[in-house]
Chains A and B, each alone.
Chain A
Amino acid sequence: MSREPGTGLSHSLSRLSRKLPGNRPIISGVILLQIVFLMLPTIIVFIVSFQPGDIVRFPPDGFSLSWYAEIPEQDQYISALYRSVVAALFCTLFSIPIGILTAIGLMRYDLRFSNLFQIYFLLPFTVPLVVSGVILMIIFGELGYIGQLWTVGLALTIINIPFMIWSVTSRVNALDPNLENAAKNLGSDELQTFVNVTLPAIMPGVVTGSLIMFVLGLNEFLVSLIITTTNNVTLPVVIYTAIRSNISPLIAAVASIYVLVAFIAVLVSDRLVGLEELLSS
């Protein structure tokens, strides 16, 4: 199986070509179409943002960064971006301890009604987002907290917490309890065992969960639309309001922040845990 570098490349290329149209033409065609379908809306926003004129047209009438140069002057976008980042950070940091405790509680202890608890922890997914929005608006409204930024962070934590619980749970499952017992057997204190054995072992799950929580928090729209006022409105809601009136390339430039964040998030998760890992948790 030893081969020279050159033949290795051509070998894998010929394998690729056999994989693509020849071998399974229909399946490959469908997948290729899906790739285009999935990527197109994201890419198009990015392309349009480099258009010099103020009318979106195809093919673009040139290349310019002028719309990007205007962003810093747009206070409404900058402050909304800041609020989005703060809310997303809040929900990420808040969900880490809750996710770890819940995952360990559910997995390591023999709870009665554990099936019931599992269904309960799926509530954020089974309750439609619009209903969660109405609920939180009524609760925060009754308590008089509407318009404060932390309510957005708390709302994001509530609706996305299952993602954190999941990714930590899969790590708790993978951790062999014998490792913890070995640590204790060697004289480690219970707390030391937790800090030095358990935590490092579930860390990849926490990292994956945090990444998902942060990016989803940054992107969250519907619940924010319902519970925010002009005081604490987040970037997706501002973009939504803006595109309803016009679709100037300026908004495309602002929206490209999200395209960039998405690419960075994919890159970072690939480096940290691997994209496959993201899929299996």
Chain B
Amino acid sequence: MSIDNNQRLQNLKWRVMDRLIAAKETLPREWYQSQPNWLGYVLIVPGVLLVSFLFVGLLLLAGYSVLTFDPIEFIVYEFTLENWRNFLTTEAYYRIFARTVGMATLITVLAVAMALPYAYLTVRTENAVLRKLLLVCLFVPFFTGVIVRAYGWMIILGQNGLVNTGLGVFGIGPIRLIGTEHGVIIGLLQIMIPFAIIMIAPAIQNIDRSLELAASSLGSNRLETFWYVVLPLAAPGIAGATIVVFTLTSATYAIPALVGGGRVDFISNVIYRALFNMANYPLAATFSISLVVVSSIIVLGIFRSIGTGTLGVTEGGTHE
């Protein structure tokens, strides 16, 4: 019975293959036999089209940012620099932008610093159980999603939450964490550390173990080995982690909205309000473009100084 089915499946497969080959052979012979180089361009067309949504969208946004906002008709197709003037001269917007960049920088530094020992131990430990534990504790939060974890932090940091209950036992508190920058930093760090570990670990994996052994046999201790050998060689991973964590943090919405309770707004929260509370698309476009410009400058700066790191798809040296 099952053999019969198997046989039928095989037959079907052969028939499909034959059809496909026949179809292929109607094409000019040299197309598939020597595979001209332009075929490469054809292959990436679907991917290019997919990403073109964002590319075209960025241009569209730049266009929107110089259109006129009208409270009644919403968008008037007239050129104006009013949105940019509004953005650059309003102190509140300014402050939120500065907070976004400042917090993103802080989170990036902390997340990368905390990810380094974790990634190192995960890659280098000889203890299989420990490695599995580290991997599980890395991927379970990574796969849990931002909203569920933000909810978890609200339960932990809230007025009657885990932290305050714990402090209450010692007669301290309650301290306010929801709606403060500290709460937001804690929440964001927990979201970003897994990303940083995932970007750094491959770079550490690529480091030749014997270099570390050489350093230690030449008399350097663990810390020195880590600082002078591992850290410089892990630079591509650190670059990748920096870029990913910085862009993600500077565009974060959920943690400021939930753990920050609307008191620690990031630029994303302002963009959302401009879109849905004020229906001011031109202003939202202005904020968006500014965010892209600022984060691109920082990302390009990292590209220039350390290279694309683990972000580059050619990583691993494939171009013969």
Contacts and interface: CB of A to CB of B under 8 A. Distances in A.
A158 interface: yes
Interface stretch (B4-12, B40-48, B82-90, B207-215): B40-48
Contacts of B139: 262, 265-266, 269, 275, 278
A127 B281 CA distance: 18
B155 to A, nearest CB: 5
Interface in B290-320: 291-292, 295-296, 299, 308, 311-314, 316, 318
A279 interface: yes
A247 B51 contact: no
Nearest to B289: A131
A89 to B, nearest CB: 16
Determine the interface band of chain B, counting residues with CB < 8 A from chain A. Answer: 35 or more
Interface string A100-141: 011111111111001001111111111111111011111100
B102 to A, nearest CB: 16
B170 interface: no
Contacts of B118: 31, 34
A93 interface: no
A233 interface: no
Contact of A110 (B40, B122, B134, B250): B40
B154 A222 contact: no
Interface centre among B41, B150, B160, B251 (most CB of A within 10 A): B251
B44 A101 contact: yes
Contacts of B20: 191
A98 interface: yes
Interface of chain B: mostly helix, strand, loop or mixed: helix
A128 B308 contact: no
Contacts of A118: 308, 312-314
Interface in B217-255: 222, 243-244, 247-248, 250-251, 253-254
B57 interface: yes
B51 A120 contact: yes
A262 B143 contact: yes
A137 B202 contact: no
Interface string A205-241: 0000000000100111110011000000000100110
A173 B148 contact: no
Interface centre among B139, B143, B248 (most CB of A within 10 A): B143
Contacts of A123: 51, 54-55
B144 A258 contact: yes
B275 A134 contact: yes
Interface in B23-47: 24, 32-33, 35, 37, 39-44, 46-47
A3 interface: no
Contact of B43 (A105, A138, A190, A244): A105
A165 to B, nearest CB: 7
Nearest to B288: A131
Contacts of A35: 133-134, 137
Interface residues of A, number: 107
B163 to A, nearest CB: 9
A186 interface: no
B144 A125 contact: no
Interface stretch (A42-50, A61-69, A70-78): A42-50
B231 to A, nearest CB: 15
A27 B42 CA distance: 50
Contacts of B253: 129-130, 221-222, 225
Nearest to A95: B50
Given A110-B37, A279-B198, A48 B44 contact: no
Contacts of A132: 54, 57
A107 B299 CA distance: 24
Contact of B44 (A12, A117, A138): A117
Nearest to A24: B222
A42 B275 contact: no
Interface in B119-136: 121-123, 125, 127, 129-136
B146 A45 contact: no
13 contacts: A56-B155, A101-B44, A102-B46, A107-B313, A109-B41, A125-B311, A127-B54, A195-B17, A221-B146, A221-B147, A236-B146, A262-B141, A275-B135
Interface of B: 17, 20-21, 24, 32-33, 35, 37, 39-44, 46-48, 50-51, 53-58, 60-61, 64, 114, 117-118, 121-123, 125, 127, 129-156, 158, 160-162, 165-166, 189-190, 193-194, 198, 201-202, 205, 222, 243-244, 247-248, 250-251, 253-254, 257-258, 267-268, 271-272, 275, 281, 284-285, 288, 291-292, 295-296, 299, 308, 311-314, 316, 318
